[in-house]
A and B are shown apart, each in its own frame.
Chain A
Amino acid sequence: MRRKLTAWLDDRIGWSTLTAFLSHKTVPMHRYNVFYYLGGMTLFFFLVQVSTGVLLMLYYRPSAEEAFESIEFLMTAVPFGWLVRSIHAWSANLMVFFAALHMLSVYFMKSYRPPRELTWVTGVVLLFLILGFGFSGYLLPWNQLSFFATAVGTDIAGVVPVVGTWTLRFLRGGDRITGGTLSRFYGWHVAILPAITTVILVIHLLLVQVKGMSVPAVAEAEAGRRPPMKFFPHFALRDLSGWIFALGVLAALAALLPWELGEKADPFAPAYANIRPEWYYVFMFQTLKLVPGGEILGVEYEAIPILLFSLAGLCLLLVPFLDRRAARDGRSPAWTIAGLIALAFVVVMTCWGYATLIPLYIVFLTALLLSIFAFITRGPRTAGHR
């Protein structure tokens, strides 16, 4: 029966080609291969976002009059509504975290070297899309925090010379933040961004499959010595155990620290004390706080950090084409140092923004957890999972 079904599928969709590909796919083994799990982890959180997001759509009403109330209803009256929303919010944060971690590991291992430039570019675009999801989803509960975060975020776009005003109006759907902005953001969040993300994600995953895993220059000797691990089932099972662990963490966070709803947005109330964006925007927020008011050559001071951040984003996107040294000999200390400086800047500014060292502890904790996971998944040193 099973053979018949396989043959039937094979005739129609080339099933055996797929299984043959999976059975031949291997993952190089070396001391840094714990980083190979980070992309899969980000994908897991993305899948959680899609499923919980679809569930939220069943009750959410995207209008200024009803958005807040519909979420209040969801959180208080709908069975497990609080759980679905909290998982969506926590998973969103963890997705940003793992996407950033994945990007950092790929950056420092120089995995963007030829022939994987396009894998990197699609990956950075996906990271930006994730940030776009975060920004557009933030307004949807229509509470005070989301209202001011959107006011500031869209005004930042408006500060950019030449295209600023158009961008601001394009984002807000007018000059101000109104119910029109809410439906626009909803459209982006549930239709436009998911459509673009799906296409880019498919390309990214295909490129990863076609080009295989990159081995950092420092681990080439080790990877050559050790037998590679079969992707299916050995690597996939390790991936899966990570996902199950992540699901447990998500459930625990959602149950113990349910996401708050806050107060309904009021465009005619002052922003409350200690208002702050989500953690992944805090370093930019803190930088903007430090820039004094003023103008130079018709450009406001606040536009300068915004332009610099945009330039940094562009550099990040184009790293594979700028870092010629890594393409040539696999190492490029200057880019490593630049990356470390940027990372230090982000961590310091985030600590400053929160006036606490907790972000720094989280960096250490992440390093510790990655080391533990690396130890658990290290695999045999010699004869392997062939």
Chain B
Amino acid sequence: MSMGDRQSCLSCETPPDRRRFVNWFLGTSFGALIASVLYPIFRYVSPPRIPEPSTAQVEAGDTSDPQFQQKGFKIVRFGAEAVIVVRAGENDFRALSATCTHLDCVVGYQKDRNRLWCNCHGGAYDLTGRNIGGPPPRPLTPYKVNLVAKSGGASTIVVSKA
């Protein structure tokens, strides 16, 4: 580029290649700077996945627990999960995930209608966990129940992954 060209370009409308390159270069480095600030922030606000200790089985108390006599059910902790244990009959206990498949509320048991019921949006399940009414899209996850006999007639309810 001669001296004359450069002078004439001071007034020309499109910037010369070199200036365009510098503009592009600075512009993208500014973008990179913003990205390098935003990326760690984005990662920081996304919570890390912490593996939960896996639970194989929990004891849900005795079959003679007065809660079963009064309300017909009990909610126990299975790791971080809530599991509902329902007394369906004499020595017939069922265990299901207590978290409603609709929007995450905790379900209860309606003794008079013999069904699991979510008070949040009116979801209904039967005692096998099947969604039988209201908005829930899926059945409740079933758990396995074993009764371990104890001295004195009552048994211990042991809930484990089905």
A residues contacting B by CB (< 8 A) are 148, 151-152, 154-156, 159, 166, 169-170, 172-174, 176, 180, 267-275, 285, 288-295, 300-302
Beta-carbon nearest neighbor of A178 in chain B: B80
- Smallest CB-CB A-B distances: 5 pairs: A270-B108, A293-B137, A155-B104, A271-B119, A155-B103
Q: Count contacts between A and B, CB distance < 8 Å.
A: 89
27 residue pairs from A and B, CB less than 8 Å apart: A151-B103, A152-B105, A152-B121, A166-B46, A169-B46, A170-B45, A170-B46, A173-B47, A174-B47, A176-B80, A268-B76, A268-B77, A268-B98, A269-B106, A270-B98, A270-B108, A271-B105, A271-B120, A272-B119, A275-B105, A285-B121, A289-B122, A289-B134, A293-B123, A300-B137, A301-B135, A302-B103
B6 within 8 A of partner (CB): no
Give the complex CA separation of A154 and B105 in angstroms: 11
In the complex, the answer to whether A152 meets B137 with C-beta atoms within 8 Å is no
Which residues of B lie under 8 Å from residue A301 when comparing CB positions? 135, 137
In the complex, the answer to whether B118 meets A156 with C-beta atoms within 8 Å is no
In the complex, the answer to whether A289 meets B121 with C-beta atoms within 8 Å is yes
Beta-carbon nearest neighbor of B107 in chain A: A270
CB proximity of B133 to chain A, nearest CB, Å: 9
In the complex, the answer to whether B119 meets A275 with C-beta atoms within 8 Å is yes
Which residues of B lie under 8 Å from residue A295 when comparing CB positions? 137
In the complex, the answer to whether B135 meets A288 with C-beta atoms within 8 Å is yes
Beta-carbon nearest neighbor of B80 in chain A: A176
B142 within 8 A of partner (CB): no
In the complex, the answer to whether B106 meets A270 with C-beta atoms within 8 Å is yes
CB proximity of B19 to chain A, nearest CB, Å: 34
B97 within 8 A of partner (CB): no
B157 within 8 A of partner (CB): no
CB proximity of B50 to chain A, nearest CB, Å: 7
CB proximity of A278 to chain B, nearest CB, Å: 14
Give the complex CA separation of A291 and B134 in angstroms: 8
In the complex, the answer to whether B131 meets A273 with C-beta atoms within 8 Å is no
In the complex, the answer to whether B103 meets A267 with C-beta atoms within 8 Å is no
B127 within 8 A of partner (CB): no
In the complex, the answer to whether A271 meets B131 with C-beta atoms within 8 Å is no
